[in-house]
Amino acid sequence: MDIKIYTNQGCGYCGKAKELCKRAGLEYTEYRIGTDITKEEFRELFAPARGYPQFLIDDEKIGGLTEAVKFFVENKLITSKVK
């Protein structure tokens, strides 16, 4: 599974997105806005979304953190049960 997370400096949700992958035991590649990709490239890739983070999984646009959690649960990568 090829997971790409597009993040922005100082974004709390971006930190949670990376933690989600770590807890699921999944490797990911992070692309930071302003370092690895320009804001313009980000907007072009994810229009009309403007929020961070954004996930690409196997080149499929998943969406932000909420959509990624839903994807992970539906694909049994994580469980939704509270311990």
Question: Quick check: is 47 in a domain?
Answer: yes
Inter-axis angle of helices 65-74 and 12-24, to 10 degrees? 10
Question: Quick check: is 83 in a domain?
Answer: no
Is the pLDDT assigned to residue 2 strictly greater than 70? yes
For the chain, give percent helix, strand, coil, nearest 5. Answer: 35, 25, 40
Question: Quick check: is 82 in a domain?
Answer: no
Is the pLDDT assigned to residue 66 strictly greater than 70? yes
The pTM (predicted TM-score) of the whole model is: 0.91
Question: Quick check: is 81 in a domain?
Answer: no
Mean pLDDT confidence for 22-42:
96
Question: Quick check: is 33 in a domain?
Answer: yes
What is the pLDDT at residue 50? 77
In total, how many domains does the chain have?
Answer: 1
Helical spans, DSSP H, in the chain: 12-24, 39-46, 65-74
C-alpha–C-alpha distance, residues 73 and 82, integer Å: 13
Q: Domain range holding 16?
A: 3-74
